[in-house]
Chain A
Amino acid sequence: MSIPRILEVRTSILKRNDAVARDLRRDFTRHGVLVVNMVSSPGTGKTAFLLETLLLLRRRGATVAAVVGDLETDNDARRLAASGAPVRQINTHGLCHLEADMIRTHVADWDLAGLDYLFIENVGNLVCPTSWDLGESLRLALLSVTEGEDKPLKYPALFNTADVAALTKLDLAAACGFDAPLARANIAAVRPGMPLVETSARTGAGLDAWLDLLTARRHRLLTPARE
């Protein structure tokens, strides 16, 4: 009879994803591409926010592209194509999040050297995308005023992994009785010090601040701090 023995493994469960993400990040950084992973619940307005972002960045002379995750449809990719930027759709066919390998496959033939910004619109979900690194340099968590101020407290893990937060649909704030100071406090509670932009894709409010933030982050990517 064999004697049971214990094998110490101590390995990350997402080791393979993390390795692909690391390679992607290295390639993106080397080519000066700022990659933004956009996460939020369904219906936050990621696509409208991204469409305006793509249009405004192009107006500022930047080259931009987007990869859009969706369970089944290509509606979002078709909406975003109106910006004139290259857009690729990833249909996950029921999978609730994007993985690094999907990004690698979908950007494989893109000329990264000719790109300044790449946006990844994740599947609308406030839980599942949390643990999957996509090789991004910036994770953006979006929260619409119609969702309520306590979303960050209900989904702290996702907001905690974000680098920047965006409030969306600010034009509807009054109609919803949205308590902006409370929302700001809740975001700060789960991620102290995280920058927040307060926006409306419809009126354009706050988008200049968002673009300035993107520009500054890309500048930082191109000129890494000296050791």
Chain B
Amino acid sequence: MHELSIAASIVEQATEHCRRAGGTRVTTIRLRIGRLAGIHPAALRFGFDLVAADTPLADATLAIVDVPVRVWCPACSAEVELPGLQRFACPGCGLPTGEIRAGRELEIESLTLEGHGQPAQEPVR
């Protein structure tokens, strides 16, 4: 259940971004989760609800963008999407390839904020 650790990192970082931007509440948080990130979305939602309580993210909608795995096929000179995770090979020509271009993402993409307080002066790192 490492999703609880992931949820705690998300809430901690988002709370900080919200505060620095002068927001009072986060209504939506948008994540990009690659299929190779080893995250179970339902477990992440469960963990998020637990750790978001009593923070500006309580009741925030967790929008999860599912990022498929894309690999580079040197034979086709193209970036191609894998239909599954059981075979790292070009779906077009069959050449095995481990050169991953997308699918490991574990990112906070954006926050939708409420509140029109003055943004904090220091820049967000």
Contact = CB atoms under 8 A, between A and B. Distances in A.
A96 interface: yes
Contacts of B110: 6-10
Interface in B2-21: 2, 5-6, 9-10, 13-14, 17-18, 21
Given A4-B27, A6-B112, A192 B96 contact: yes
Contact of B88 (A97, A158, A191): A191
A15 B107 CA distance: 9
B57 interface: no
Nearest to B38: A130
Contacts, number: 113
A118 B2 CA distance: 25
A2 B89 contact: no
Contacts of A190: 85-88
A5 interface: yes
B98 A193 contact: yes
A131 B116 CA distance: 36
Contacts of B2: 95-97, 127-128, 131
Interface in A1-31: 2-17
A188 B98 CA distance: 10
For the complex of A and B, the 6 pairs showing the least CB-CB separation, nearest first, are A128-B2, A192-B96, A130-B38, A156-B85, A157-B38, A2-B116
Given A156-B85, A192-B98, A13 B111 contact: no
Interface in A170-220: 188-194
Contact of B108 (A10, A95, A160): A10
Interface string A151-173: 00100111011000000000000
Of A9, A13, A153, most B-chain CB atoms within 10 Å = A13
Contacts of B98: 160, 191-194
B78 to A, nearest CB: 17
Given A157-B36, A157-B85, 5 more contacts: A4-B114, A13-B9, A158-B38, A188-B96, A190-B87
